[in-house]
Structure 1
Amino acid sequence: MKEVYITKISKFLPNRPISNDEMEDKLGIINGKASKGRRIVLRNNQIKTRYYALDDDGNVTHNNAQLAKEAIEQLFDENFTSSDIDLLSCGTSSPDQILPSHAAMVHGFLKCDNVEINSPSGACCSGMNALKFGFLSVKSGQTNNAIASGSERISSWMKGHIFENEIKHLQALEDNPILAFNKDFLRWMLSDGAGAFLLENEPNGETPLRIEWMEGYSYAHELEACMYAGGDKLENGFLKPWSEYKTSDWSEKSLFAIKQDVKLLSANILKKGVDSLKRALTKHDLKPSEIDYYLPHISSHFFKDKLYQEMVDNGVEIPWENWFMNLSKVGNVGSASIFLMLEELAHSGKLKKGQKILLSVPESSRFSYAYALLTVC
């Protein structure tokens, strides 16, 4: 088995940073009324700026595959060109279309040579699953290198016009025409961007990071769907897909909008997260005190203190001074967030040889978790 190193890291954040006060202008007001939930959500998540693939007039500047392509192209130099890629593995929560696959579309924009492609589905863990596929491919010797990416273009899913038919339908029924909080909530949480890693079987680059192991856990056998799109959840918890609805229901119910069961999220995301963390640390006989940098993908600062207390209560406390996050600056970029965190840390000048970095990514869709341990070489 080969060793696997992250030898280059890149990011692409489209356009300019968007402040909290600009968000509703960018995404649009629904039914002529400002969102009642926006200030509450922003106060809790403590995100100050984020990025959208929209210009100042609200026009789309990049699709998802183009965001990934922009990040990946920054990995190329005279020592590694697009012609050298063996494997392209691209994860996302928000593909531009159902078919072709996301990685196929990214490959199309790159216009490089023939390569193997992989498109893991899912939400935030899709980026880590893209990384794991590349890691296993290089480790097994199947390929000498791999590019893994995580990217999101979620802004166009959250624009006000997406919900216009639903509001009109509620008005026709003489119901209160206010967007349900489980849909409005995520409009103020998610944003656009992309990150990419180059994986190689030799420790090239200035500060290569060796991937020691990766682990993943799912709790779908215990819990129903929590975050979903392309369907609606029935009272019994069953997720009914868009293909079983009438086409008129697609817009009247905003079936393709992303929705979050906030109560289910709060009751389980931290508990299952720490349970999976304990499983990973125990399996690899890793003590929390041996982790120099802990990079948790947290959707909101609302969960930060609660996560720490859950870790303390379960005997897996990682000291605050070892945590590294950039949520407040770049926002919650789903599958790309862990790439953006590691990119900032790797280019900070803080890393020292021998240090251990733990990547931690939860996915609330149906409660999945992914981990990776890295060593600075």
Structure 2
Amino acid sequence: MFEVYITKSGKYLPNEAVSNDEMEDFLGLINNSASKTQRIILRNNGIASRYYALDKAGNPTHTNAELANNAIETLFDENFTRKEVELLSCGTSTPDHLLPSHAAMVHGLMKNHSVELNSSTGVCNAGMNALKFGFLSIKSGNTKNAICTGSERVSSWMLADKFESEVVNLKTLEEQPIIAFKKDFLRWMLSDGAAAFLLENEPKGKNPLRIEWMEAYSYAFELETCMYAGGDKLENGEIKPWSDYKSSEWLTQSVFSIKQDVKLLDENILEKGAESMKAAMDKNNIKPEDITYFLPHVSSHYFVKGLYNALTEKGIEIPMEKWFMNLKTVGNVGSASIYLMLEELMNSGKLKKGDKILLSVPESGRFSYAYAYLTVC
């Protein structure tokens, strides 16, 4: 088995940072009315700026594949060129197409040569799953290197015009023309961007990170769906897929919008997160004092104190000075968030040889969690 190192990281955040006051300038007004929940949600999530692959007219400026490819471009130099890539592993929640795969579309933009492809789907863990595929490929000796990405272009899913048919339908039914909180909530939570890692079987570059282990856990066997798109939730908790709806209902019920069961999220996300993190640390004999930097992907600063308390109750008290996050300035970029956090830390000048980094990524889709433990070499 070979050692695996993250030898380089890069990112691409489209256009200029968007402040809280500018969000509806880009996403638009639903029913020509400002959202009544926006300020409450933004106050709780603590995000001050984010990035959209849109202009103010709501026109897309980049595809998801372009965001990922632009991040990948930052990895190439005279020491490693696109012609040397052996594996491309891409994760996203918001691919540009149902088919072909996201990785295939990214590879189409690279214009290099034939490589092995892997596309990882899901929600926030899509990026970690893409990373693990690259990690295991190099670990086993299948490849000597891999490029792994996390990317999202969710902004175009949240444009006001995507909900206009639903609003018209609500008016026809003589109901309040306000979309459900489970949909409006996420319009103020999610944003666009991409980041990429170069994985190699040798510790090249400045402060390469050796991946010691990666672990993943799913609780779908006991918990119903929490975050979803391309369907809707029935009273019994099952998800009715988009293909079982009439085509007219795709618009009148915003079937393709991203939705989240906030009550289910609040009840389970922290408890299962602490449970799975303890399992990962116990399995690999890691204690809180063995962590120099803790990088938790949280969708909102609302969860930070709760996560700290939940971990402490499990005997995992990690002092807040060890926590490293960039949610406030970058936003919640789903599967790319953990990549963007680690990229910022790697290029911050803070790391020194021997530092230990724990990555933690929850996914509320149906409650799954992924972890990685890294050593600065």
TM range (shorter): over 0.9
> How many angstroms does 1:329 deviate by?
0.2
Question: Which runs of structure 2 are paired with 1:1-377 in the superposition (5 Å)?
Answer: 1-377=1-377
- CA offsets per residue over residues 69-103 of structure 1, 9 Å max, x none? 00001100011111100000000000001000000
Question: Once the two structures are superposed, what CA deviation does each residue of 1:137-161 show, in whole Å capped at 9, x if it has no partner?
Answer: 0010000000000000000000000
SS at match of 2:120: coil
Is contact 2:25–2:56 with CA below 8 Å preserved after alignment? no
The amino acid that maps onto 1:172 is T
Q: Offset at 1:370?
A: 0.2
1:162 and 1:238 map into 2 onto residues whose CA distance is 24
Inter-partner Cα distance in structure 1 for 2:177 and 2:350 = 51
> 1:95-138 CA distances to partner (integer Å, 9 max, x unpaired)?
00100000000000111110000001101000000000000000
TM-score (norm 1): 0.99
Which whole-Å CA distance do the structure 1 matches of 2:222 and 2:272 have between them? 10
Question: Does the CA-based 8 Å contact 2:147-2:199 persist in structure 1?
Answer: yes
Please say if residues 75 and 198 of structure 2, whose CA atoms lie closer than 8 Å, have aligned partners that are also in contact: yes
Shift of 1:59: 1.6
Aligned-partner residue type, residue 76 of structure 1: F
Q: What letter matches 1:36 in structure 2?
A: K
Once residues 246 and 351 of structure 1 are traced to their aligned partners in structure 2, the CA distance between those partners, rounded to angstroms, is 54
Superposed CA RMSD in Å reads 0.5
Mapped to 1, the partners of 2:306 and 2:260 lie a distance apart of 19
Query: What is the CA distance between 1:312 and its match in structure 2?
Result: 1.1
Tell me the secondary structure at the aligned position of residue 128 of structure 1: helix
Deviation at 1:56, TM superposition (A): 3.2
CA distance in 1, matches of 2:350, 2:184: 38
**TM-score, normalising length from structure 2?**
0.99
2:24 corresponds to which letter in structure 1?
A: E
The percentage of counterpart residues that share the same residue type is 68
Post-superposition CA distance 1:15-73 (Å, at most 9, x none): 00000000011100000111011001000001000000012332211010000000001
How far does residue 288 in structure 1 lie from its aligned partner after superposition? 1.0
Quick one: distance in 1 between partners of 2:376 and 2:23? 38
Q: CA deviation at 1:314?
A: 1.4
1:115 and 1:268 map into 2 onto residues whose CA distance is: 40
Secondary structure of the equivalent of 2:362?
A: strand
Q: Which secondary structure does the structure 2 equivalent of 1:167 belong to?
A: helix
Counterpart CA distance in 2 for 1:77 and 1:338 is: 24
Residue identity opposite 2:161 in structure 1 = H
* Residue-by-residue CA offset, 1:259-317 (whole Å, 9 max, x unaligned): 00000000000000000000000000000111000000000000000100111111111
Looking at structure 2, the residues matched to 234 and 332 of structure 1 have their Cα atoms a distance apart, in angstroms, of: 27
CA distance in 2, matches of 1:215, 1:83: 31
Gaps of 5+ in 1: none
Q: Which amino acid letter does the alignment assign opposite residue 288 of structure 1? A: P
For residue 77 of structure 1, give the secondary structure of its aligned residue in structure 2. coil
What residue identity is the alignment partner of 2:37? G
Question: Which has the larger displacement, 57-66 or 206-215?
Answer: 57-66
Distance of 2:347 and 2:79 partners within structure 1? 19
Q: Distance in 2 between matches of 1:284 and 1:96?
A: 38
**Residue type at the aligned position of 1:49:** S
User: Quick check: 2:58–2:159 contact (8 Å CA) kept in 1?
Assistant: no
Aligned-partner Cα distance in 2 for 1:176–1:365: 28
1:167-197 residue CA offsets vs partner (Å, 9 max, x unmatched) = 0001011111101100000000000000000
- In structure 1, the residue corresponding to 2:336 is in which secondary structure? helix
Structure 2: which 5+ residue stretches go unaligned?
A: none
Distance 1:311 1:134 in 2: 29
1:370 aligned counterpart, secondary structure:
strand
What residue identity is the alignment partner of 2:180? A
CA distance in 2, matches of 1:349, 1:338: 18
> What SS does the corresponding residue of 1:119 show, helix, strand or coil?
strand
Q: Distance between the aligned counterparts of 1:42 and 1:109, measured in 2? A: 35
Following TM superposition, by how much is the alpha carbon of 1:207 offset from its aligned partner in structure 2, in angstroms? 1.0
The one-letter code matched in structure 2 to 1:147 is I
Instruction: Specify the SS of the correspondent of 1:358.
Output: strand
Q: How many pairs were matched up? A: 377
